[in-house]
Amino acid sequence: MLLKVKPNAFAHRKIIPLLRYRPLIIVGSMLLSLSLVVRLEAAPHFRVYPRYIENDIRGMGQTRDTLRISNAEGDEDLTWRMEIRILGEPADSGWITATALQGRVAPGQWVTSIVLMNGRNLENGHYFADFFFTSNDPNRPEWTVPVAGHKDDFPRIAAEWQVPQQGDWTVIDMNRFLGELYWGNTYNFNITIRNRGAAQLVVDSLVSQNAYFRLNPARFNLAAGTNRQVQVIFTAEEIRANSTTVTSITNVWDPAEISFRIIATVSPVFRFGSPVADFSMDEDAAERLVADLDTVFISSYAETNYNVSGGLGFTYRLARNRELFVRPRTNWNGVSTFFLSASLGDTVVLADTFIVTVNPVPDPPGAFDLIAPVDDDTLWPDRGDSLFVWQSSTDPDGDAVKYSLFIISPHGDTICWQNLTDTTLSSWAVFLDDRFTGTIEWTVAASDTLLKRQAWSTFRLHLLPGRQPAPLSDRWPNVHGISVFPNPTNGLVCLNVALKSAGFIRLEILSAEGRLIDHTSEGFFPAGRHQFSYNLGSAPSGVYLVKITTMSYNGVFPIQLTK
């Protein structure tokens, strides 16, 4: 329910002072579960025309003028009272009168009061008066209409700057008076408004034509001969290069009242704030906030661009809020220089550098995997299965890597080989007995003397209880010797096989995963030493396996191909 309420005399005395800005009030009734929306729009609007009366009597007789008391823009009855204040000292204090000293004016209406002046020639003296009004208009507690015989006796408005004056006093260049203006900062300066007249000055409004400049206060009254400071407030970010005309509405006799122009130009200003100091951090450290570049470079323009370059060995990012973060790349250490610059368009206006030292931190050897035997494989030592093969590990710090092989029986017995430089161990079977029959765990540890990394796997060993594997010469009687060289190699591999008697030989090249790459030779060969060769030049670097099969021997040899 919307109700438009017109208050009575009591309402305007009690309610209006609390509702000077015409708010929308919502009143809720808990008992009736209703909501009444009451819009109180009642407020008078007080104006007096003319705003001054000038006595221009040139002789004897009587002169009259008309004051119009207006409520044309209001929406509540206007009640007013007028008091005639004699400010000079005429011989006859009754030289000026008015036909009505109080009244009530309905909304949108006006009434008049006739002002009578007797025949005294006031230009021969400084006799003047004020018609002083009070009303129930909350926005205009008082209003003065001066009357006098000399213009000097009226209120007069003048402005004085609290900054050094240069050139035309109606134009103020803020960069000239306040110095360098920086983006984002708020600035202000004062002007002094003076009443140089002999009657009260009423400043109804003092406003800027745009919102970049704010004046405080913008409405005030001044007694004769007094002054008031008004603060002009603005921010460098808002105005950039802008200007405004400030105008006033007052009761002064001069229709021009007061008008002046402010020009506030924010010149491009750049300077160093807090340059970034050199610092150090550890290798593999987390991302670090270095600085907010808005504090490194102080700029008067928000459009200033920041650029970051250099930083070898680092990853870095410049966040949207202009914060710079840096982080060393994985396993990198050393000294790196960063270059910072601030630019306006394509022009670099400021530049700075800082150095970051990354301290080395030891890293464990790189990850590697076990190749043979494969997980959960079953080995038969009596058939010649006798090879442990694992991948090589590379230390990120460039340290030499050595290996340790641990074989643990199902009963917890351990055999260990340490300080191995190869990634193959082929003679383990002679150390095993029936205690190792069953599932065996084997582990390889890669160490750079400070840190280590491990890989482990399991396999099942098939060995008859109470029986050890036969010696190598007994198990492979026809093989006199086998060798693979050079190892490591950069391409060409030579394989020597010595047979005690004529027999079958097959040579195969396998990948580290056991996938067949090529057959190098296969056939029946006479007794004696036989040499075979194979070129791995087209293959990528890595570990390869050479599988040699004879009628009494089956073995695998790893080859490290390094290009």
Task: Examine the pLDDT at 18 and tell me if it is beyond 60.
Answer: no
**Averaged pLDDT, 303-319:** 93
Query: How much is the mean pLDDT over the chain?
Result: 76
Q: Which residues contact 336 (CB under 8 A, 6 or more apart)?
A: 310, 311, 312, 313, 314, 355, 356, 358
| Whether 402 contacts 396, CB under 8 Å | no
CA distance 116 to 128: 13
Tell me what pLDDT residue 11 has. 32
CATH number of 270-359: 2.60.40.10
Q: Which residues contact 215 (CB under 8 A, 6 or more apart)?
A: 206, 207, 208, 230, 231, 232, 233, 246
Task: Examine the pLDDT at 476 and tell me if it is beyond 50.
Answer: no
| Whether 222 contacts 159, CB under 8 Å | no
Which among 286, 175, 191, 276 is positioned nearest to 230, based on CA atoms? 191
Domain 270-359 identical in fold to domain 370-461: yes
- For residue 323, list its beta bridge partners: 292
**Averaged pLDDT, 544-553:** 75
Task: Band the pLDDT of 350: cuts 50, 70, 90.
Answer: very high
- For residue 78, list its beta bridge partners: 105
Q: Read out DSSP for 78-111?
A: EEEEEEEEE-S--SSTTSEEES-SEEEE-TT-EE
The pair of structure tokens assigned to 122 is 């006031």
Task: Examine the pLDDT at 310 and tell me if it is beyond 90.
Answer: yes
Task: Band the pLDDT of 163: cuts 50, 70, 90.
Answer: low
The pair of structure tokens assigned to 512 is 């580290």
Show me where the domains of the chain are located: 2-39, 47-153, 157-265, 270-359, 370-461, 476-561
pLDDT in tens, 279-289: 999 998 999 99
The pair of structure tokens assigned to 259 is 């008008």
Secondary-structure class of domain 370-461 per CATH: mainly beta
Task: Band the pLDDT of 15: cuts 50, 70, 90.
Answer: very low
At 328, give phi and psi (nearest 5°).
-70, 145
pLDDT in tens, 24-58: 222 222 222 222 333 345 689 888 887 767 655 44
DSSP 531: E
3-state secondary structure of 512: coil
Tell me what pLDDT residue 428 has. 52
Fold of 157-265: Immunoglobulin-like (2.60.40)
Length of the chain: 563
The pair of structure tokens assigned to 511 is 């990948």
pLDDT in tens, 358-406: 999 888 898 998 887 877 777 765 555 556 888 889 888 888 999 988 8
| Whether 358 contacts 281, CB under 8 Å | yes
* Percent of the chain's residues with pLDDT above 70: 72
Question: How does 336-374 read in b/e, with b if 16+ C-beta sit within 10 Å?
Answer: bebebbbbbeeeebbebebebebeeeebbbeebebbbbe
Tell me what pLDDT residue 39 has. 37
Task: Examine the pLDDT at 260 and tell me if it is beyond 50.
Answer: yes
Task: Examine the pLDDT at 13 and tell me if it is beyond 70.
Answer: no
Positions of E strands within 284-346: 288-292, 297-299, 305-310, 314-318, 323-328, 334-344
pTM for the model stands at 0.40
**Host H or E run for residue 372:** strand 370-372
Tell me what pLDDT residue 41 has. 53
Q: Please give the residue that has the higher pLDDT: either 233 or 41.
A: 233
Secondary-structure class of domain 476-561 per CATH: mainly beta
CATH number of 47-153: 2.60.40.10
